[in-house]
Amino acid sequence: MERDGRTDRPLAVAARGLEVAYGRDAGRRALVELDLEVARGEVFGVLGPNGAGKTTLLGVLATRLAASAGTLALLGGDARRPTRSLRRRIGVVPEEPAHIEALTGRENAAFFARAAGLSFADARQRVGDLLERLGLASDADRPVSEYSHGMRRKLLLVEALVHRPDLLILDEPALGLDPPSRQRLAELLGERAAAGAAIVLASNDVVDAEQWCGRVCFLHGGRKVLEGAPAELLRACGGTTRIECRLSAGRAPDVRVDGLDVALATSERLVAHSARGLAPLPALCASVLAGGAAIHAIEIRRPDLRDVFLRATGAELEAA
């Protein structure tokens, strides 16, 4: 098994030149020449706007989709020919919370545990523990057809964690969860990572990604455009203050102010990062107004991973 060059831990995911083509004559590519390494014990985030290839990447890592080109080793095994034992070491939380509607939450989780090879006794005990920890115990004996979206999402987590996988693939794991449940999820993921599992999660929530992930990568148009620890990426982004102006202008304003780095300028919005706090703000406003634009609102906040993506691609994480 390959080892991680930074930590010397075994690699759970080692992808080289990964591509996924689809459509007529496989003319469209959802993933393009993607290299990726995730070590055991690491929590790795995959970020990107809708259509960037996040779900496709997770589908390949979950052995649901086959790559069109490149190589992919999962837990030391070849993902092109996933064996039963390899799949039993992987836990998957898909985006859609599909369950067996006629059965109760407990029965659903027990079924997936048994299908993953657990004994009846182990399945019962672990399902009970996880239902309790995720706050689902009191509803565990109700049919899933009566569950809310959040409860269905929690049940997905129970089913993915019950066999204690060495590789966890999570698509928007916190979607629909209330703050206490998010906290419990963060604890569970932390425990799995501490036990040596690799966790790969896709999210649109940059706050979760910053808090939970040791490293993240950004996908854009199927390509990996940036990768690193959130803190490093934020440092490299430059600036300590993000200033956004909502405008009415005939055209994008041309703003040049010392200490201010303009990341986005359209006739409706201007986003800039300042390395000197709010000091450049008066000059910025003056420059915009001098260009004939009107300023409707100004938002000031600390830069986050959305700004890292904006700087790297010129596109916005939430919009595209």
Partner 1 sequence: MNAPVWALEWRQAARRRRLLVLNVAVPFVLVASIALGGAPRAHAAAAYAVLFAMFGVFGAAVPWAREVERGVLGRVVLTGIEPRALLLQRVLADALLDALELLPAALLLAATGRASAATTAGLALALVAGLLFANALGIWLAALADSLAETALFAAVATLLLLHGGGVFRAPAPGSALAVAQSAIPFHHLHDALRGVAGVAPPASGGVAPALWSGAGVLAALGVTALAAPWIAARAARVR
Q: Show the tokens assigned to 241.
A: 């203050």
Partners of 219 in beta bridges: 224
The distance of closest approach from Cβ of residue 159 to partner 1 in the complex, given in angstroms and rounded to an integer, is 8
Name the residue nearer to partner 1 (CB basis): 63 or 181: 63
| CB of residue 127 to partner 1, shortest distance in Å | 13
User: 120 or 266, CB closer to partner 1?
Assistant: 120
- Between 123 and 245, CB nearer to partner 1: 123
Q: What three-state secondary structure class fits 95?
A: coil
Q: Per DSSP, which regions of 177-319 are E strands?
A: 198-202, 215-220, 223-228, 241-248, 260-265, 269-274, 294-301
Neighbours of 64 (CB within 10 A): 14
Output the smallest distance, CB 64 to partner 1, in A: 5
Nearer to partner 1, 66 or 294 (CB): 66
d(CA 99, CA 106): 11
Q: Are 202 and 149 in contact (CB under 8 A)?
A: no
Closer residue to partner 1, CB minimum distance, 81 or 256: 81
Q: Which residues bind partner 1 (CB under 8 A)?
A: 59, 62-65, 84-88, 90, 92, 94, 96, 98-100, 102-103, 107, 111-112, 114-117, 119, 143, 159, 163
CB of 167 to partner 1, least distance (A): 12
Contacts of 2 (CB under 8 A, 6+ apart): 10, 11, 14, 37, 73, 76
CB-CB neighbours of 26 under 10 Å: 11
